[in-house]
Structure 1
Amino acid sequence: MSQKPVESGFHHPLVVRFHEVDSMQVVHHSMYLQWLEACRWAFARDVLDLTPTGFNELGFALPVVRAQLDYVEPATLESDILIVMHYILQEKVMVSFKYRVYDRTTGKLIMRARTDHAVMSVETRRLQIQWPDAWLAKTGRAVEQYPHYFAPDEKKPSRR
């Protein structure tokens, strides 16, 4: 029987597939970035009501500018995985997420990670210096509805 971590946050489950492992049936390190991206898109769809097309319609994109992954334990073929993600609320015009990846069967922590994303205009391809109103509206509603999916920036208090 699967065992879920008690940690709150946005939960994204997955099972390790054959093409994600190497010859020793251990997940290749590059797959974890794809898992984090899948988790972010599930969050955007389920919590912010945004699709990839919806982002373009809002007029901005969130390119990854930094990714930090700390591998703790290997995941293997057919492991039952749970990614727990928090959107980090911060003052600067940047979107950040922190993640904990668990093996749901054993409860072991597999990986800790963080990604930071610039807020960039789709039209001009320039960085935004203030939060787009549409993003503030989407995240504001989400914070009210799902406060346990959001975490304050460890460095500074936030308005969002």
Structure 2
Amino acid sequence: MRLTVDPSTDPQDYEFAHDIRVRFVETDAMAIVHHSNYLAYFEETRVAFLAHIGHPFTEWRSAGLESPVLESFVQYRQPCRFDEVLTVHVALAAATRATFQMSYLVEVDGQARTTGVTVHGCTTLLGRPTRLPAWLTERSVTR
């Protein structure tokens, strides 16, 4: 297991926030967000974060790199519901030469609803492990 990060419930511990409105299709028969959708919310926020810091995911692809998810962890604290606006916070939590971890906080109106972590590897487009881009490891050190 590579996951070593304990995600915070304090929004101040995160670098970036992204709002997502819950669509009806994302809810289950109990009228709450189905558990599988949180990983999609994390991905959407992670992609927005990378664009925000000037390294959009398209840049990774152009450089011949991928960042596959190796592990994920989600702790469901309170349910999210249709039409709520979720504020998903994200931070680069840790990085090694070839992996990095992102931590997440999902809140609604200031209330923590969900926390999570994703662990990513770095590979070539052919799936071979490779080092992270220098800007990412440097960003991890400077945080």
User: Same-fold call, TM > 0.5?
Assistant: yes
Question: How high is the sequence identity, in percent, across the aligned residues?
Answer: 23
Say whether residues 1:111 and 2:114 are aligned partners: yes
Show structure 1 runs of 4+ deviating over 3 A.
Answer: 137-140
Displacement of 1:90 after TM fit? 2.6
Question: Following superposition of structure 1 onto structure 2, how do residues 115-134 of structure 1 map, counting pairs within 5 Å?
Answer: 115-122=118-125, 124-128=126-130, 130-131=131-132
Displacement of 1:21 after TM fit? 0.6
Displacement of 1:6 after TM fit? 4.9
Closer/same/farther in 2, CA of residues 24 and 83 from structure 1, 3 Å limit: same
Report Cα offsets for 1:73-105 as digits up to 9, x if no partner.
Answer: 00011112111111123334202100011012x
Displacement of 1:50 after TM fit? 1.5
User: Which 5+ residue runs of structure 1 have no aligned equivalent?
Assistant: 144-149, 151-157
RMSD: 2.1
**TM-score, normalization by structure 1:** 0.74
Q: Measure, in 1, the Cα distance between the counterparts of 2:81 and 2:49.
A: 25
Provide the aligned length of Structure 1 versus Structure 2.
133
Of 16, 23, 34, 2:29 maps to 23
Displacement of 1:120 after TM fit? 0.4
CA radius of gyration, larger in: 1
The one-letter amino acid of 1:112's match is T
Q: Tell me if structure 1 keeps the 8 A contact 2:68–2:123.
A: yes
User: Which 5+ residue runs of structure 2 have no aligned equivalent?
Assistant: 1-9
Say whether residues 1:55 and 2:41 are aligned partners: no
Q: Measure, in 2, the Cα distance between the counterparts of 1:65 and 1:138.
A: 17
SS across alignment from 1:83: strand
Displacement of 1:51 after TM fit? 3.7
Corresponding residue for 1:91? Answer: 96
Closer/same/farther in 2, CA of residues 159 and 45 from structure 1, 3 Å limit: closer
**TM-score, normalization by structure 2:** 0.82
